[in-house]
Amino acid sequence: MDRIIIFDTTLRDGEQAPGFSMNVEEKLKMARQLERLQVDVIEAGFPIASEGDFEAVKKIAAEIRSTTIAALARAVPPDIDRCWQALEGAAHPRIHTFLATSDIHLKYKLNKSRGEALDIAVKAVERARKVCDEVEFSAEDAGRTEINYLCTIFDAVIDAGATIVNVPDTVGYQTPAEYGQLIRTLRERLKNADRITISTHCHDDLGLAVANSLAAIENGARQVECAINGIGERAGNAALEEVVMALDTRKRYYNVTTGVKTQELYRSSQLLCQLTGKQVQVNKAIVGENAFAHEAGIHQDGMLKNAVTYEIMSPDHVGVPRSMIVLGKHSGRHALEARYRELGYALTREQLERAYVKFLEVADSKKRVEDQDLISIHESAHSVAAG
C-alpha cells in the first residue's frame, strides 16, 4: 500500500480561524499531542506574522524531534528568512512558501502578471532551498487557476528545488470530480511528477473538503493537509480525523495507509476543544458526542445483538471510551431491559412492560432519561404492583 503523508495544519491555518488563536504554551501542548498522534508533518505557524508565532515555531522545532516541522512563508525574502530562523533547530524542517496563482488573485489581490508571479515563485523556492532540503510550494487558489499556467508554475518551482507541490482549493469551490481530475492532470502533465509529492489543501465552504481530499488521493495525491476538528479559515479545513478514518475504514477501497495512531484521535480533538474553548457539534463525525451514541429502538436492538450492525468502526479504535445506548422516547424495550440489567435489576416480562409504559411518559417530557429516572420508575412500578 502507498503511504499517505498526513500534514496537520491545526496550529497554522486552523489557528487563523476567528476565536481559535493559541498562545505559545498552548501551541506547544497541542504539538506534543500531535506528535503522540503520529502525524507526519506539523505546520507549527507563520513566523513572520508575530513574535508569538515565531517563538511558538522555534520552541516546537526544538522539542518535537520525530515529526517534520513546517512553517509558512509568503514568497518574499523576509518571510523565508524569518521562517528559517524559527526552523533551523528542527530535526526535520520544512519551509512552506506560497503565492496566489489564479487570475482573480493576481489581478485583484497582488496586481501582478502571470510572468511576474512565476518569477517571484521561482526565486522564493530557490532562496528556501539554499537553507532547507525540504521545500513545499503552494499555488494559492489553485482550484481556480488556469490549468496550463498552473502546470507551468509547478514545473518551474520543481526545477527550482521544490520537493512538494500543494494544490489548494483555497475557497472550497471545487467538486470531488473536478478536484480529482485536477490532480490527475497534474500527475500526467508535470515534467518531473515522479520526483515530488503532490499535496492537497481543501477548504470546506461547500462542505466538500474531506470528499475533495479523498478524490485527490484516488487520483495520485500523496499528502493531505488537514486539521483536527476541521478548524480553519471560514468554514474550515478538511477534518484530519475524518480523512484518516475514511482511509482506515475503507482500506481495501483506497489501498493506502497512514502512520496515524488512530487511538489518539479523540484525545487530540478533546485537547483542542479544551485549549480553544470551542466544542465540536454533537453530530461531528468520529469525535462528536453522538458519533457512537444510539437512541432509536431499531438501532439499539441491532447494537445490543452485534455492534457491527450500526457501527462501521469501533469507538476504542479512535480513542472514544465506549458506545452509548441513549434512552429517550425513540428507545425500545430491548434497550430499556439491557440498561436495567446493567444497573443490577432483573425484570420479569410484566415488570418490564409496566416500566416501559412509565418510561415513555418520562421520555416524552425529557430529552434524555437518566439512570436515576429508571431507578425511580422501577421503584414506583414495583410499589404499585406490591400494593
Give tens-digit pLDDT for 236-266: 999 999 999 999 999 999 999 999 999 999 9
- For the segment 146-172, what is each residue's pLDDT rounded down to a tens digit? 999 999 999 999 999 999 999 999 999
| Within a domain: 286 | no
Distance CA(262)–CA(197), nearest Å, equals 24
- Co-location of 225 and 341 in the same domain: no
Domain that holds residue 230: 2-276
Is the separation of the CB atoms in 60 and 44 below 8 Å?
yes
Q: Are residues 22 and 109 in the same domain?
A: yes
pTM over 0.85: yes
282 domain residue, yes or no: no
Over residues 82-111, mean pLDDT: 98
Domain end point (choices 222, 242, 276): 276
Q: In a 3-state reduction of DSSP, which class is residue 244?
A: helix
Q: What is the DSSP string of 292-353?
A: TEE-SHHHHHHHHH-GGGT-SS-GGGGT----EE--STT--HHHHHHHHHHTT----HHHHH
Separation between Cα atoms, residue 197 and residue 162, nearest integer Å: 9
Nearest-angstrom CA–CA distance, 179 and 234: 20
Co-location of 248 and 149 in the same domain: yes
Q: Same domain for 104 and 134? A: yes
Domain termination residue (choose one: 227, 247, 276): 276
* Cβ contacts of 62 within 8 Å, gap of 6 or more: 89, 90
pLDDT at 302: 86
Domain count, the chain: 2
> Residue 117 maps to which CATH number?
3.20.20.70
Asked whether the beta carbons of 122 and 87 are under 8 A apart, the reply is no
What's the mean pLDDT when you consider all of the chain?
94
Q: Do residue 36 and residue 160 come from a single domain?
A: yes
Contact 327, 309 (CB under 8 A): no
- pLDDT (tens digit per residue) in 197-230: 999 999 999 999 999 999 999 999 999 999 999 9
| Any domain includes 130 | yes
Residue 284 lies in a domain: no
* Structural domain includes residue 360: yes
Using DSSP bridges, classify how beta strands 68-74 and 41-45 pair: parallel, antiparallel or unpaired: parallel
Examine the domain organization and report whether 299 and 269 are in the same domain.
no
Instruction: Say if residue 314 is in the same domain as residue 272.
Output: no
Residues 211 and 298 in one domain: no
Is residue 283 domain-resident?
no
Mean pLDDT confidence for 314-319: 93
Examine the domain organization and report whether 202 and 320 are in the same domain.
no
pLDDT band at 382 (very low <50, low <70, confident <90, very high): low
Asked if 319 and 271 sit in the same domain, the reply is no
Supply 102's cell numbers: 489564479
**Boundary-marking domain end, from 245, 276, 307:** 276
Kindly state whether residues 266 and 120 are assigned to the same domain.
Answer: yes
Asked whether residue 125 is assigned to any structural domain, the reply reads yes
In this prediction, residue 386 carries a pLDDT of 47
Helices (H), 88-239: 103-105, 114-131, 147-160, 176-189, 209-218
Shared-domain flag, residues 303 and 271:
no
Domain assignment present for residue 184? The answer is yes
Burial, 137: exposed, middle or buried (Cβ in 10 Å; 0-12, 13-18, 19+)?
Answer: buried
pLDDT score of 137: 98
